[in-house]
C-alpha cells in the first residue's frame, strides 16, 4: 500500500513539475525600453500609436517604438511583455538619477537602451558620459536579474547637426555622425558582459540613404520616390524612420528576419505606407544586420496582417 501511495505521489509530483515547466516555457519574455524622444516617437504618429499594447512606466500614454516592436513580435508569433521608461532630451544619466526604483521594480529578461543623440548634450561627439553611464545602468539591471540581456541602440545622424553651419558635424557626410555615435556605443558595450549587442540603427539609416530608399538631405527637398526618415524638425524621426529603427531592433533582439513580416505588415498598413516602401525598409534592415559577420536571422513563414491591417 505504501508503495502504491508513493507511486501516486511521485506521479503527482511529476505532473505538477511538468505543468510548472510548461507554464514557465510559455511565460512571455519581459522587455524594457529605456530612452528618450527617439524611443517614444516624438514628431510622428508613432508617439501614441497602440499605447494600450505596452506598459508605460511613466503613465504618459506612450506607444512609440516599443509598440511597433510589440506589433512585430505578435505578428511573428512571439510573446513579449513590453514596457518602456522614457523622458525627452536626456541620456542614461538622467534615468539613473531619477528612475532607479522604476527600473528595478521588475527583473526584466531583455533591455534595449540608448543615451543622448549626440553622445553628450554638452560635448557633442564625446562618448565619456555614455561609457560611464552604460556601465552603471548595466550593473543596476544585472543586480536585479543577473541573466538580463542588454542591447544598446546606436542612433541615427541628425540632419540638423550636419547641414546647418556652425553645427558639430557641419561639412561632414551625413553618414559620419551615425558612425561616430556607433563608435561611442562600441566602447560602452565593452564595459559589461550583460551587453549582448549594439543595435545598428544609425548604420541602417545610412544604408537606406546610400541605397536610394531614403533621401539624405531634407533641407533641399525630398526626391521623388524616396522617403524622408526625419521628422519636420530634421532631428527626430518620421514614421518611416521610427519604423525602420523598430525593424532593426526587432530583428537584432529576436533573431527573426524582418522580411518575414511581409509587405502587409499591420503597423505599416495602419500608417499608410505603400507595400513597396515596406518591402524596401524590411530589406535594408535585413541587409544591414546580415552584413555583420556572425549575425544570422531566421526566416519563418511570412506573417500576415490581420483583417483590415489592424494590429492585435
Q: Is the pLDDT score of 195 beyond 90?
A: yes
Residue 102, number of CB atoms within 10 A of its CB: 15
Of residues 207, 230, 231, the one with CA closest to residue 280: 207
More confident residue, 9 or 267: 267
pLDDT at residue 62 in the model: 98
Of residues 192, 34, 189, the one with CA closest to residue 127: 189
Task: Give the model's confidence band at 304: pLDDT under 50 very low, under 70 low, under 90 confident, else very high.
Answer: low
Q: What are 222-258's pLDDT values in tens digits? A: 999 999 999 999 999 999 999 999 999 999 999 999 9
User: What domains are there in the chain, each with its CATH number?
Assistant: 29-309 (3.40.50.1110)
Coil, strand or helix at 120: coil
Residue whose C-alpha cell reads 527583473 in the numeric block = 107
pLDDT at residue 312 in the model: 72
pTM score > 0.85 for this model?
yes
Q: What are 42-87's pLDDT values in tens digits? A: 999 999 999 999 999 999 999 999 999 999 999 999 999 999 999 9
Q: Is the pLDDT score of 2 beyond 60?
A: no
Give me the sign of the Cα torsion angle 53, 274, 244, 290. Answer: positive
Give me the sign of the Cα torsion angle 64, 229, 75, 20. Answer: negative
**What are the helix and strand counts (H, E) for the chain?**
11, 6
Per-residue cell: 256: 527573426
Q: Is the pLDDT score of 91 beyond 60?
A: yes
Distance between CA 288 and CA 7 in Å, rounded? Answer: 57
Amino acid at each position: 500500500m505504501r508503495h502504491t501511495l508513493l507511486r501516486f505521489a511521485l506521479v503527482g509530483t511529476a505532473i505538477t513539475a511538468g505543468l510548472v515547466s510548461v507554464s514557465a516555457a510559455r511565460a512571455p519574455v519581459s522587455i524594457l525600453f529605456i530612452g528618450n524622444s527617439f524611443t517614444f516617437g516624438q514628431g510622428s504618429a508613432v508617439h501614441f500609436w497602440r499605447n494600450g499594447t505596452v506598459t508605460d512606466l511613466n503613465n504618459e500614454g506612450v506607444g512609440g517604438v516599443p509598440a511597433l516592436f510589440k506589433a512585430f513580435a505578435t505578428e511573428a508569433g512571439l510573446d513579449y511583455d513590453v514596457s518602456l521608461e522614457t523622458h525627452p532630451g536626456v541620456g542614461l544619466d538622467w534615468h539613473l538619477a531619477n528612475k532607479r526604483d522604476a527600473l528595478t521594480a521588475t527583473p526584466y529578461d531583455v533591455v534595449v537602451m540608448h543615451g543622448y543623440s549626440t553622445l553628450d548634450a554638452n560635448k557633442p561627439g564625446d562618448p565619456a558620459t555614455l561609457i560611464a553611464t552604460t556601465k552603471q545602468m548595466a550593473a543596476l539591471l544585472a543586480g536585479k536579474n543577473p541573466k538580463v540581456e542588454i542591447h544598446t541602440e546606436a542612433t541615427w545622424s541628425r540632419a540638423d547637426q550636419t547641414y546647418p553651419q556652425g553645427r558639430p558635424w557641419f561639412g561632414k557626410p551625413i553618414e559620419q555622425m551615425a558612425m561616430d555615435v556607433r563608435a561611442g556605443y562600441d566602447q560602452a558595450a565593452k564595459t559589461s558582459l550583460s551587453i549582448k549587442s549594439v543595435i545598428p540603427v544609425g548604420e541602417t539609416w545610412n544604408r537606406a540613404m546610400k541605397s536610394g530608399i531614403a533621401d539624405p538631405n531634407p533641407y533641399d527637398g525630398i526626391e521623388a520616390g524616396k522617403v524622408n526618415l526625419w521628422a519636420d524638425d530634421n532631428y527626430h524621426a518620421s514614421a518611416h524612420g521610427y519604423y525602420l529603427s523598430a525593424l532593426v531592433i526587432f530583428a537584432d533582439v529576436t533573431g527573426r528576419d524582418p522580411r518575414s513580416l511581409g509587405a502587409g505588415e499591420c503597423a505599416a498598413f495602419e500608417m499608410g505606407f505603400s507595400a513597396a516602401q515596406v518591402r524596401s525598409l524590411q530589406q535594408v534592415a535585413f541587409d544591414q544586420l546580415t552584413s555583420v559577420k556572425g549575425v544570422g536571422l531566421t526566416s519563418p513563414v511570412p506573417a500576415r496582417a490581420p483583417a483590415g491591417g489592424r494590429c492585435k
